[in-house]
Amino acid sequence: MNDREEFLTWVHTSLARAERAMFNGDDGPRRAIWSHDEPVSVLGAWRNATNRSELVEAFEVLASSFSNCTDYSLELISFDVRGDMAYTVGYERVVTSMDGTPRTFTLRATQVYRREDGEWRVVHRHADAISSK
């Protein structure tokens, strides 16, 4: 398996599981796939963070508002791997509850990844909502 295939497999397994868990109220898997090394950053649909401490706090607050995720999918528009860096651009389609209210929304998400000790880690996320019900 080449680097691109390995990365794509990780995106569709570990990353997708972590995102689904987040939208189901559990931020642990998401925190686990994010880098512990600075710099890390999030320009999010609901919260921003510019360091690991802010990132953990943002994930905890967000996770506490989500529950009952019944669907999560990632439609990749573009991705690439160059050495120990990679990126993804795509649409995240989510059906969940937010503060107890059922919600369906789509996020445009761009993420940057860094390979650390042989494992892919997220280092930056930019997402914004493009639809909501």
Q: Pick the closest to residue 88 from 107, 106, 113 (CA basis).
A: 113
pLDDT in tens, 11-23: 999 999 999 999 9
What does the pLDDT average to over 97-120?
97
**CB-based contacts of 101: which residues, under 8 Å, 6+ apart?**
none
pLDDT in tens, 24-69: 999 999 999 999 999 999 998 788 999 999 999 999 999 999 999 9
The reply to whether CATH 3.40.50.10440 applies to domain 3-132 is no
Q: Which two structure tokens, joined as six digits, stand for 68?
A: 């009952």
Threshold 0.85, pTM exceeds: yes
Q: Sort strands 41-43 and 48-49 into parallel, antiparallel or unpaired.
A: antiparallel
Domain boundaries, the chain: 3-132
The residue whose two tokens read 């401490």 is 53
**Residue percentage of the chain with pLDDT more than 70:** 98
- Residue of 130 and 121 predicted with greater confidence: 121
Q: Pick the closest to residue 94 from 127, 122, 110, 70 (CA basis).
A: 70
Type of residue at 79: F
